[in-house]
A and B are shown apart, each in its own frame.
Chain A
Amino acid sequence: DTAVSQTPKYLVTQMGNDKSIKCEQNLGHDTMYWYKQDSKKFLKIMFSYNNKELIINETVPNRFSPKSPDKAHLNLHINSLELGDSAVYFCASSPGPGGRYEQYFGPGTRLTVT
């Protein structure tokens, strides 16, 4: 069983479109995250939810909107996609919100905006 799964794995779309990426974890964790990895492999946190409550919201354009319908799911919706949004997006989860906990990462969603 996959611990943290993301769909889709690849997403190719045009500028201006709206798209969503879904994430699910079956580990029973309370905390979930979205990260963006750019073309140089630099990884930066975007959002974090704990028990469906937003606890980390980095300086991210408000075109990005996370939604957590329950503890096991954290989706990322992106409006009006731009070329600069092309990246790999990783979902992760951990037992709790503290940084000392190990984070478990999904396989990533490669978003290409043309």
Chain B
Amino acid sequence: GNSVTQMEGPVTLSEEAFLTINCTYTATGYPSLFWYVQYPGEGLQLLLKATKADDKGSNKGFEATYRKETTSFHLEKGSVQVSDSAVYFCALSDDRGAQKLVFGQGTRLTINP
């Protein structure tokens, strides 16, 4: 079945550091890929998405490129802020069957001033 694997957390960085959170997936068909973010005490929000190979999703300084050859969708940001502290979820949705979202296990990110 479909699955998503994210890098183990927690991740702790200093403000203005470079961020990478790795995400790889296993899927049949041609999935859409997503990054959702969960701030403390809140529900998830869509951060960015990509629907086909080589697409780059971007939002709020975050980027991720859909790499079909490596089945990856790594999240990057050039300079993180304290306000980026949250839990980040990589997810996929296949283009066939029930098309439900399958989430990775989440990566907790803490940014220190």
Contact = CB atoms under 8 A, between A and B. Distances in A.
A56 B98 contact: yes
A97 interface: yes
B105 A42 contact: yes
Kindly state the interface size class of chain B when it binds its partner: 20 to 34
Interface stretch (B39-47, B61-69, B75-83): B39-47
Contact of A99 (B38, B42, B43, B94): B94
Interface string B28-41: 00011000001001
A43 B100 contact: no
Nearest to B105: A42
Q: Is the interface of A mostly helix, strand, loop or mixed?
A: loop
Contacts of B94: 99
A40 B105 contact: yes
Given A56-B98, A100-B51, A41 B105 contact: yes
Interface residues of A, number: 22
B99 A99 contact: yes
B89 interface: yes
B55 to A, nearest CB: 12
Given A44-B103, A99-B99, A90 B108 contact: no
A4 interface: yes
Nearest to A96: B99
20 contacts: A4-B43, A40-B105, A41-B108, A42-B105, A43-B44, A43-B103, A45-B101, A48-B100, A56-B100, A98-B99, A99-B32, A99-B93, A99-B95, A100-B51, A100-B99, A103-B44, A105-B45, A106-B43, A107-B42, A107-B43
6 tightest Cβ-Cβ pairs between the two chains A and B: A99-B93, A105-B43, A99-B99, A41-B106, A105-B44, A43-B103
